[in-house]
Amino acid sequence: MPFALPDARTIHPITLQDGTPHAGTVFLKAVIDHPQITVGDFTYASDFDPPEPHGWAARLAPYLFDFSQDRLVIGKFCQIAHGTRFLGASANHETRGLSTFPFSVFDPQTLPGYQPDTRDMIIGNDVWFGHGATVLAGARIGNGVIVGAGAVVRGIIPDYAVVTGNPARVAKMRFSPQEVATLNNLAWWDWPPEQIALARPALGEGDVAALAKLA
């Protein structure tokens, strides 16, 4: 039987050899209904202690509330390993005063709308977050990035970079500038699922030229 992608609306997209679904992996678009979170098709998260389906938003972005003024936007085909957290602007305190204590949140008159930091976290397509990665407010992570285990990401990360450490720094680029430009122009993550399934060999082997021929 030819390879086919699972339905993007599936909650548990991995089926084990005994026919049972793997409860520890979910397609996030099927389980997250949060006004400040947008997730693309086929992006999945895995956890060794998975929450109930309605709990994935709080697990991944614990400081992003319904009333938050910042957003988390994740592209398509991202892979999010156990322990990854998105610590958005809602978690931050005011730093321009003499004290960082959030007095305003303890006053009902000043609590509504209090959020000194409103920067969004924007994640590209086909980004792999290793075990225990942390993404901070305002991060802009490009397409095809690999975030190493335990890395703490802030700022702008270029397309197809590999970043490691705290703070995360570019360890290397996965492809040449010309290949990166080609991959972004091809935007394979926007192709129909049937075409992506046919492109599986080229995607798995890192053959940019072969992928271009399938476009």
What local confidence, expressed as pLDDT, does residue 207 receive?
87
Whether residues 186 and 164 fall in one domain = no
Whether residue 96 sits in one domain with residue 37: yes
Residues 170 and 189 in one domain: no
Residue numbers of the chain with a pLDDT score lower than 70: 1
Tell me: do 159 and 183 sit in the same domain.
Answer: no
The catalytic residues are: 93
Give the per-residue pLDDT at 1: 66
Q: How far is CA 148 from CA 96, 136, 177, in A?
A: 32, 15, 21
Predicted structure pTM score: 0.95
Q: In total, how many domains does the chain have?
A: 2
| Residues 131 and 76 placed together within one structural domain of the fold | yes
Report the pLDDT value the prediction gives residue 129, as an integer from 0 to 100.
Answer: 98
pLDDT at 86: 98
Whole-number Å distance between alpha carbons of 75 and 136: 17
Q: Which domain holds residue 191?
A: 177-215
CA distance 129 to 163: 10
